[in-house]
Amino acid sequence: MSMTANEQMHDNLTVSLGFWIYLMTDCLLFASLFATYAVLTGGTAGSVSGRQIFDIGFVLTETILLLTSSMTSGLAYVEARAGRRNRSLVYLAITIALGASFLVMELSEFSHLVSEGYGWQVSAFLSAFFTLVGTHGLHIASGLIWALTLVVLIMKRGLTHDTTKKLMLFTLFWHFLDVIWICIFTFVYAFGVLS
């Protein structure tokens, strides 16, 4: 049974409103984590600070990967709106590859820090760091699962109103994660190296 134009508009507004409410709750979550990090950043307990452990070049590479993936997710949506299924899938696949590369780099950084003896249990600073950056990483992992699901849906159902709407919501979510990462890069890494 197909939806009328009014029903589609109402459905779009309801879904969009619900999604924006979700994003705002995620903003509150990250705001809390940033505030916690700001309070605990000086709590090194005689251990290392960000200046001693952050590799800004490595993190800059992560940032470029994630920002590029944001662009390709947007292009996937633009191609979907134009009805170009294959191009949309290619851009979505590139988004997934770039996002997965970012996540592998983040996990590599965590593994390196833990192997050097700088795990989350060492100091308040490191606990706040791992919690903030790790929460972002969990969101990236969730986004990758969502993107893979979209690939399957688009391959099975094509570019329907429903799949295109889901792609739009994913793209908004992915852009949101980029904004959060820019804040992490600035306040955690850049300020951490400079302080």
pLDDT tens profile 109-151:
999 999 999 999 999 999 999 999 999 999 999 999 999 999 9
Angle at 152 between CA 178 and CA 87, to 5 degrees: 65
185 lies in some domain: yes
Q: What percent of the chain has pLDDT over 70?
A: 92
93 lies in some domain: yes
83 lies in some domain: yes
170 lies in some domain: yes
Taking the C-alpha atoms of residue 101 and residue 176, their distance in angstroms, rounded to an integer, is 18
**The token pair that represents 48 in the structure block:** 């290392």
Residue 186 pLDDT exceeds 60: yes
pLDDT tens profile 57-90:
999 999 999 999 999 999 999 999 999 999 999 9
Backbone torsions φ then ψ of 121, nearest 5 degrees: -85, -5
2 lies in some domain: no
**pLDDT at residue number 195:** 74
Q: Name every residue whose Cβ is closer than 8 Å to that of residue 23 and which is 6 or more positions away in sequence.
A: 172, 173, 176
How confident is residue 18, by pLDDT bands cut at 50, 70 and 90? confident
User: What is the tally of structural domains in the chain?
Assistant: 1
17 lies in some domain: no
CA dihedral 147, 153, 159, 163 (to 10 degrees): -70
Domain of residue 68 covers 49-113+121-194
Taking the C-alpha atoms of residue 86 and residue 45, their distance in angstroms, rounded to an integer, is 54
41 lies in some domain: no
**The token pair that represents 98 in the structure block:** 């770039």
**The token pair that represents 106 in the structure block:** 């983040």
CATH of the domain at 79: 1.20.120.80
